[in-house]
Chain A
Amino acid sequence: PERSARVSKVRPPLHQYIRKLLLSDLDKSTIEHVLRQLRKLPWNECESYLLKCFMKVHKGKYGQIHLIASLAAGLSRYHDEFAVAIVDEVLEEIRLGLELNDYGMQQRRIAHMRFLGELYNYEHVDSSVIFETLYLVLVYGHGTPEQDVLDPPEDCFRIRMVITLLETCGHYFDRGSSKRKLDRFLIHFQRYILSKGALPLDIEFDLQDLFADLRPNMTRYTSIEEVNAALVELEEHDRIVSADKANSEKHSDTEKP
């Protein structure tokens, strides 16, 4: 049959150059150079195209996502608008993925979790953004009529998402308030895991690695009842701490810094 030849997409030279920098030139040894070239671009003309390319982390190599995050952090000193847009955009992608739960999007969803974690590692977002995302992944769509579509009982993809993010930046949550936040999250995460019932072995092994890495001494609960009891205890503990705090503040008003 007669078919017209495939028309390949023709990109303007500026776009071709940006793609060359990000998709073929970029590696560990050239990152300084790529950053300098990106800074020299006519930003008025190509800022939105740059943003688009930065969001294509799933098209490049998985092991290079940290380089893109590093570039984002490097550019943010000079381009605040871009710095904010990158984060808004990643978080939107993650949210959209949860809304659609489309099998074909899984690879890019994992890449975006990784990207967000790397943005934390390069100090581009703070830990509250990470924890809000983690909890969003656990609860999004739960308790709504769409729960069976968004997170069906046998679907373990959200566990993968959490593993990916924590593998990327979880080891930094090892002291102070972010340590406590991770301890707390991991109990909620365990509750979510138990709600899934028996897990595929590959996921179970990745979970074992994750816990061994981040909290080797943490109890892995084996039943919903146990983990619920742990969560109740946690709440109880919080109530006492905050009551103590309120009390001591009442008595030490004069000593306040």
Chain B
Amino acid sequence: MKARTERTKVVIRHLPPSLTQSDLLQQIDDHFSGRFNWFSFRPGKSSHKHQRYSRAYIDFNSPEDVYEFAEFFDGHVFVNEKGAQHKAIVEYAPFQQAPKSSTKKDGR
């Protein structure tokens, strides 16, 4: 378990349902490319019945990167082509573990 001061994994919530992974990465990469070691995108859903925000998890290399990222991205407003606004929330992920890059392959 990482100590509180070492938390490096964040979750970005309330992203527009129609946002795609490449859209988001484009916006992040300008400032933060190479500063995180893991990124995971959960696309949202916008049907008539249910709407679900998109979400993303990022594990940064250092706690300082987290501060800078939150400053840059928390409260960032996305406006889609229809004019709907979505205000993103950046928080520490409640579960701080990120996948190790080298998991042993399942020999089954």
Contact = CB atoms under 8 A, between A and B. Distances in A.
B95 A87 contact: yes
Contacts of A80: 99-100, 103
B103 A78 contact: yes
A91 B95 contact: yes
Interface string A110-143: 0000000000000001101100110010000000
Contacts of B40: 81, 85, 88
Main secondary structure of the interface of B (DSSP, over half): loop
B11 interface: yes
Interface residues of B, number: 19
A128 to B, nearest CB: 6
A132 B94 contact: yes
A140 to B, nearest CB: 12
A43 B108 CA distance: 12
Interface string A22-53: 00000000000000100110010000000000
B87 to A, nearest CB: 13
Given A92-B55, A126-B1, A84 B97 contact: yes
Chain A interface: which size bin?
20 to 34
Contacts of B108: 36, 39-40
A84 B99 CA distance: 6
Contact of B98 (A40, A84, A136): A84
B29 interface: no
A79 interface: yes
Given A39-B108, A40-B108, A128-B1, A88 B103 contact: no
A81 B7 CA distance: 19
A83 interface: yes
A96 to B, nearest CB: 8
Contact of A129 (B11, B95, B100): B95
B106 A79 contact: yes
B93 interface: yes
B57 interface: yes
A88 B57 contact: yes
Contacts of A36: 108
A128 B105 CA distance: 29
A129 B94 CA distance: 7
A36 B108 CA distance: 7
Interface string A98-120: 00000000000000000000000
Contact of A39 (B1, B95, B97, B106): B106
A78 B94 contact: no
Interface of A: 36, 39-40, 43, 78-81, 83-85, 87-89, 91-92, 95, 125-126, 128-129, 132-133, 136
The 5 closest A-B pairs by CB, nearest first: A78-B106, A80-B99, A80-B103, A87-B95, A81-B99
29 contacts: A39-B106, A39-B108, A40-B108, A43-B106, A78-B104, A79-B106, A80-B99, A80-B100, A80-B103, A81-B99, A81-B103, A83-B99, A84-B95, A84-B98, A84-B99, A87-B95, A87-B97, A88-B11, A88-B40, A88-B57, A88-B93, A91-B94, A92-B11, A95-B94, A126-B1, A128-B1, A132-B94, A133-B94, A136-B94
